[in-house]
Structure 1
Amino acid sequence: MNIGTKVALAVAAAAVCVAGAVGLLVHRITAADQLATARADLDRQLVAAAYDHAAGRETAARLDPPDLPAPLTRLIRQGVRGTYLHSGTHPVLWAATRVSDRTVLALRRPYGRETAALADLDRTLVTAGAAATGAVALLGLALGVRMGRRATAAARTAERIAHGDLDARVRPHGHDEIARFAESMNAMADALGARLEAERRVTADIAHELRTPVSVMVTAAGLLPPGPAADLVTGGVRKLQGLVEDVLEIARLDARVAVVETEHRQVSAMARRAVAGLEGVGVRIAADTLVETDPRRVERVLTNLVTNALRHGAAPVTVDVDRGPDGPVLRVRDHGPGFPPDALAVLTTSGPQRFRTARTSPGTGLGLSIAAGQTRLLGARLVFRNHPEGGAEAALYLPAGDTGGTGSTGDTATECGYEDAGAVVPV
């Protein structure tokens, strides 16, 4: 139930309570006033009839009527002149008094006119209350819908900011709490954008400053005499060089200066090129597709996913090429323990986090961050999960784009030189 409906129901409930209370009060006051007026008038008539009876004149009053109500009879026995309303289908108002020790003089008159007038008043009150409640409910609904739209717009802007659109802003209207919330969200987005921009600049500056000395170190390591020490230094320098290149790639992705160059390419060909030279990796082709995309970026994403699977999972690692309802799908699965629950929660909510490493949790590192950035450039989706049969799985959903046709499983296996398209084959 949205906020507009809740506000409308709350206002309608309040209107019903107010209308009911006012209607009940008016009903009681009117009924009491009607009865008091009728009793006073009938009592005056009874007093006049008693004087006429004493003077021997004929009156409309009755002596000792047999249908006198019992409560009024008991009251008369106490020597009190009184009136009594006998309700029912045909209500009657009685007035009686004692004119001698054994004689009672009584008057009666129909009370239906007053009862009908009170019923008409009740119907009028119900109609007016219903109309007022409906009008107030519509007003509350309009107010609630307006508040709901403002809250929904703020929520959508927050979602855009959470997905990386730091230029998204909310237009505050008015001076209420929602407007203040919108202003606070805009201030938060400004502060977040400034911090991320500062982080990106520092990262890019550090990477640029390290690039030249690292290149010198690579050249110097190549001049070392062969031996275990030289191999150790060369391996470390190469790893440092790869790290610097990864940081520069992230800086380019953050700066949004990367250019996507699309061309038609077979999905299976990109998968084979991405895992070429990696041991313990197999490619399984269920359905091949010709897709228009940036093959270099797709291969970079797959390479990073496979490398991460080999580093943090366990061989064998499989790359499944398939076609889903919305386009090609490439799934990278290892046979290790899978993603830890806390890491998987971060991956599925906010995506890969860079530079988050610890002794107990190695974090996602730069590889998955670059893969996520490349995926956004391609307009694709990257989904992480733990496979039901064990191991971690990352699925890359490519947009369908302009496909040139698909190949069946059997045709793809023959074209690629595989004996069985359903088997995992090393590349």
Structure 2
Amino acid sequence: MRRPGSSLGTKVALAVAAAATCVASAVGVLVHRLTAEDQLRTARAGFDRELVAAAYDHAAGRRTAARLDRPDLPPPVAHAVRDKVRVTYLHGGVLWAATPVAGGKVLSLKRSYGPEEEALSTLDRTLLATGAAATVAVSLAGLLLGMRMGRRATAAARTAERIAEGDLDARVHPRGHDEIARLAASVDTMAEALGARLEAERRVTADIAHELRTPVAGMATAVGLLPPGRPSELIADSVGRLRGLVEDVLEVARMDAQVAAVEREQREVSAMARRAVSGLDGVSVDIVTDTVVATDPRRVERILTNLATNALRHGAPPVVVTVDGPVIRVRDEGPGFPADLLTVLHASGPQRFRTGDRTGGTGLGLTIATGQARLLDARLTFRNRPGGGAETELRLPD
């Protein structure tokens, strides 16, 4: 994934460099043209004065540098002089000045325009060096500015990613009063509002679940007093599911409140796996290699029970729990995880009240399993097997 900071810094630096190059080029061209025009105008005016002086000397019979009827006189100069016009003309690096005199002859002067052209070339080199230095300096300044803006934008983006991953205490702490500071302040405001809403939701959920425990327990006791029969069995089954749901909600609330305690013991992984699925029909345990780990057995068994139950409910039997040292895999023969659910599982973990089937439903199994794994410093991985079926891997810390 491209970092927004580096991209923004590069774009700002390139934009500043392009602007500086355009400005330097425009200034250089403008100065070159104005200097060349002024230089030519000054040279022609001075050479015209020399021609006038030479014409007076020629008329007075004095010796002069001007010559009559030069054979190499450029055609434009000769044509203009025939019209009784005194002219100055730059042709091929040579400056000409000519004027008609008595007898229909043409008096002319010429000199090299090389000194002016050399001076103009020197000016061009100076403008080029100055423009390049200014462009580099401005580009460096733009790069520093872009890097600073990029770092601030990256900090805001990373904080937003942490918030999306569940770290609601993450903050940007903006500085300044520009647009990036406003964006950072908006991210902080969003995090505070989201945290407040989630905390209110957690409190309400925990309070409701806590208040339901007593009536649900009473219902479970009352079901035991009903006469045997199919209606009693249906009521007992429904009350049992309701009681399990209430306990699941309370467990999630405890994990959200970070009040769940981990009690570690030395236990065999195979023993925990067998106990976890002992009451589930259609689930078998396969031991490849066994090991002893220091963990909370109650939480490990809760994870495996939820994973196996989820596999039975949303996959298809047989469900196999494979123990390979500290790694436990739960696989089924169902259609596998839906692609959109796998995307969510890989990006942000299980979402509450979303299950692995394609029709939706209410379930907390994967959410509780992921929360318990996080408490144990274990890792859960969800994937679809190439041959079909879903597979969940629990890797316990050694």
TM over 0.5: yes
SS in 1 for 2:321: strand
Unaligned stretches of 5+ in structure 1? Answer: 404-427
Which residue matches 1:367?
Answer: 365
Distance 2:322 2:67 in 1: 108
**Deviation of the 1:40 alpha carbon:** 0.6
Which residue matches 2:73?
Answer: 68
**Deviation of the 1:357 alpha carbon:** 7.9
Which residue matches 1:11?
Answer: 16
Unaligned stretches of 5+ in structure 2? Answer: 1-5
Are the structure 2 counterparts of residues 289 and 92 from structure 1 closer, same or farther at C-alpha, using a change threshold of 3 Å? Answer: farther
SS in 2 for 1:108: strand
Matched, 1:50 2:55: yes
**Deviation of the 1:375 alpha carbon:** 2.4
Are the structure 2 counterparts of residues 350 and 58 from structure 1 closer, same or farther at C-alpha, using a change threshold of 3 Å? Answer: same
Matched, 1:22 2:20: no
Matches within 5 A, 1:222-241: 222-241=224-243
Read off the aligned partner of 1:298 and give its amino acid letter. Answer: V
Which residue matches 2:159?
Answer: 157
Matches within 5 A, 1:409-424: none
Matched, 1:185 2:195: no
Which residue matches 1:144?
Answer: 146
Q: Is the 8 A contact 1:353 1:363 kept in 2?
A: no
**Deviation of the 1:286 alpha carbon:** 5.4
**Deviation of the 1:248 alpha carbon:** 0.7
Q: Is the 8 A contact 2:17 2:138 kept in 1?
A: yes
SS in 2 for 1:2: helix
Matched, 1:352 2:350: yes
SS in 1 for 2:156: helix
Question: 1:311-348: CA deviations, max 9, x gaps?
Answer: 0111122334458xxxx543322221222333333333
SS in 1 for 2:316: coil
**Deviation of the 1:266 alpha carbon:** 4.4
**Deviation of the 1:174 alpha carbon:** 0.8
Distance 1:105 1:92 in 2: 16
Q: Is the 8 A contact 2:338 2:358 kept in 1?
A: no
Q: Is the 8 A contact 1:352 1:364 kept in 2?
A: no
Read off the aligned partner of 1:362 and give its amino acid letter. Answer: G
Q: Which one is further off, 242-251 or 93-102?
A: 93-102
Are the structure 2 counterparts of residues 302 and 48 from structure 1 closer, same or farther at C-alpha, using a change threshold of 3 Å? Answer: same
Which residue matches 2:3?
Answer: none
**Deviation of the 1:61 alpha carbon:** 0.9
Q: Which one is further off, 285-294 or 228-237?
A: 285-294
Question: 1:116-142: CA deviations, max 9, x gaps?
Answer: 111111111111111111111121111
Aligned counterpart for 2:43 among listed residues 38, 47, 71: 38
**Percentage identity across paired residues of the two chains:** 71
Distance 1:338 1:396 in 2: 17
Matched, 1:59 2:64: yes
Distance 2:147 2:394 in 1: 39
**Deviation of the 1:161 alpha carbon:** 1.1
SS in 1 for 2:98: strand
Q: Which one is further off, 36-45 or 120-129?
A: 120-129
Which TM-score applies when normalising by structure 1? 0.85
**Deviation of the 1:199 alpha carbon:** 1.0
Which TM-score applies when normalising by structure 2? 0.90
**Deviation of the 1:84 alpha carbon:** 2.0
Distance 2:328 2:101 in 1: 110
What's the C-alpha RMSD, in Å, of the aligned pairs?
2.4
Are the structure 2 counterparts of residues 364 and 31 from structure 1 closer, same or farther at C-alpha, using a change threshold of 3 Å? Answer: farther
Read off the aligned partner of 2:87 and give its amino acid letter. Answer: G
Aligned counterpart for 2:335 among listed residues 334, 337, 342: 337
Distance 1:133 1:291 in 2: 64
* Count of aligned residue pairs for this structure pair: 393
SS in 2 for 1:144: helix
Are the structure 2 counterparts of residues 61 and 17 from structure 1 closer, same or farther at C-alpha, using a change threshold of 3 Å? Answer: same
SS in 1 for 2:364: helix
Distance 2:168 2:37 in 1: 69
Question: 1:146-178: CA deviations, max 9, x gaps?
Answer: 111111111111111111111111111011111
SS in 1 for 2:49: helix
Distance 1:272 1:226 in 2: 32
SS in 1 for 2:246: helix
